[in-house]
Amino acid sequence: MNKPFQILVVDDEKELLELVVYYLEKEKYTVITAKSGAEALQLLALQPIDLVVLDIMMPDMDGFTACEKIRAFSSIPILMLTARSSEEDKIKGLRIGADDYIIKPFSPKELVARIEAALRRANGLQPIHMITIHELKIDKSGRLVFVDEQPVNVTRKEFELLLFLVEHRGQVFTREHLHHRLWGMDTEKGTLRTVDTHIKTLRLKLKSAGQYIKTVWGIGYKFEETA
């Protein structure tokens, strides 16, 4: 994807701000920073911005208020960044106009991927159908999986589980979350042990690429592209 995009990152945490700026500039984005919601609004009024990464917990004006004020005059994509993980906060952020919501601590690569996805949606660009991670390839449109160019026979649920973890790589999910995501509220269609079974089977089928599906003891699973 061509990246002449200008991104505004709003956070009062100096270290985190520097980290986000480093990774975005590495991906050739132009990055502008602000340390408060009020400063962000001033910058938005002065220059063209393609996307806002907006922290919630800030002094003077929190991210929720800033998001509402931005939505009063702009449809620019807004990705909210926060340490607050409650479902109520997430729902509130989405309802007042945020396009996405990422919880600290997060993988910088996941943040970049979510920004790219938001920009594609906002600019009407075609989504990427082929995901390549080292020896692993996933054809989203064809629902196919390859390891070292060899096809891997996976079930529909195995494909959905793998794709979900890959598209949210670096993020840890509980077994309950994964069960709800794949089987919904119908407990007759699966149990938490079913999630474990699918993970185990996927690892075996993916061979060398199975190592990227990590167990986070006491919590759940994540996909991480390092051995």
Question: What pLDDT sits at residue 152?
Answer: 92
Please spell the DSSP secondary structure of 12-67, one letter per residue: S-HHHHHHHHHHHHHTT-EEEEESSHHHHHHHHHHS--SEEEEES--SSS-HHHHH
- Cα torsion for 79, 64, 177, 139, to the nearest 10°? -20
pTM for the predicted model, two decimal places:
0.55
**Domains by residue range for the chain, with CATH:** 6-123 (3.40.50.2300), 130-223 (1.10.10.10)
Distance CA 97, CA 77 (A): 9
Question: What pLDDT sits at residue 187?
Answer: 47
How many angstroms from the chain centroid is the CA of residue 99? 11
Please spell the DSSP secondary structure of 52-85, one letter per residue: EEEES--SSS-HHHHHHHHHTT----EEEEES--
Q: What is the DSSP letter of 135?
A: T
Distance CA 180, CA 162 (A): 15
Pull the structure tokens for residue 35. 């340390």
- Across the range 43-70, mean pLDDT stands at 88
Pull the structure tokens for residue 143. 């629902």
Q: What is the DSSP letter of 151?
A: E
The confidence band for 185, taking pLDDT boundaries of 50, 70 and 90, is: low
Average pLDDT score over the chain: 84
Between strands 30-34 and 6-10, the pairing is: parallel
User: Residue 98 class from Cβ within 10 Å (0-12 exposed, 13-18 middle, 19+ buried)?
Assistant: buried
How many angstroms from the chain centroid is the CA of residue 214? 17
The confidence band for 13, taking pLDDT boundaries of 50, 70 and 90, is: confident
Question: What pLDDT sits at residue 110?
Answer: 85
Q: Is the dihedral of CA 134, 138, 144, 145 positive or negative?
A: positive
The confidence band for 51, taking pLDDT boundaries of 50, 70 and 90, is: very high
Between strands 213-216 and 220-223, the pairing is: antiparallel
- Across the range 202-223, mean pLDDT stands at 92
Of 63-67, 110-114, 118-122, where does mean pLDDT reach its minimum?
118-122
Instruction: Give pLDDT tens digits for 175-184.
Output: 888 888 787 7
Q: Count of CB atoms within 10 A of residue 113's CB?
A: 18
Question: What pLDDT sits at residue 52?
Answer: 95
Q: What is the DSSP letter of 148?
A: T
Given a cut of 60, whether residue 190 has pLDDT beyond it is no
Dihedrals phi, psi of 131, to nearest 5 degrees: -105, 125
